[in-house]
Structure 1
Amino acid sequence: QNFLSLQSQLEGTENRISVARRDFILAVERYNTEIRTFPGRLWHAVMYSDLPIRATFEATTPDADKAPEVKF
């Protein structure tokens, strides 16, 4: 019973990490697009020139963005 509960909690944690990773990647992509296009490029040059372009990341293994299935 405890082990099944632990598996369920781990699955939920992995799902939350996956969602947070996806949200971060989307936010970085939006930021980079904004500062590279007009008029965001002008605002960035004038007001935020000290902020660098952020690195974007992608999953390196197949299905890395999916949590593993729990089998009982």
Structure 2
Amino acid sequence: MNGDGKKRAGIAPGLEVDIVLKQDQRTGKTTRGIVKDILTKSPEHPHGIKVRLQDGQVGRVKQIVSGKRDEH
């Protein structure tokens, strides 16, 4: 499973992810949170699957953090 957030199958509610909010798309700044809802209907998306975090913020998944913290 790849951790880049482009495939819907790799994302599930409860996962910890880094997303890019709409207003941060130009800078690429990421926001970390826990997935509440998956908003993208297609199985994959080139810019990342759109999700809603538990705090209500919406953005596209850039990186799946999950429980494993393997920093590259």
Specify the TM-score bucket, using the shorter chain as the normaliser: under 0.3
Structure that is richer in helix per residue: 1
TM (normalized to structure 1)?
0.18
* Larger RCO (CA within 8 A; separation ≥ 6): 1
Structure that is richer in strand per residue: 2
Structure having the higher Rg: 1
TM (normalized to structure 2)?
0.18
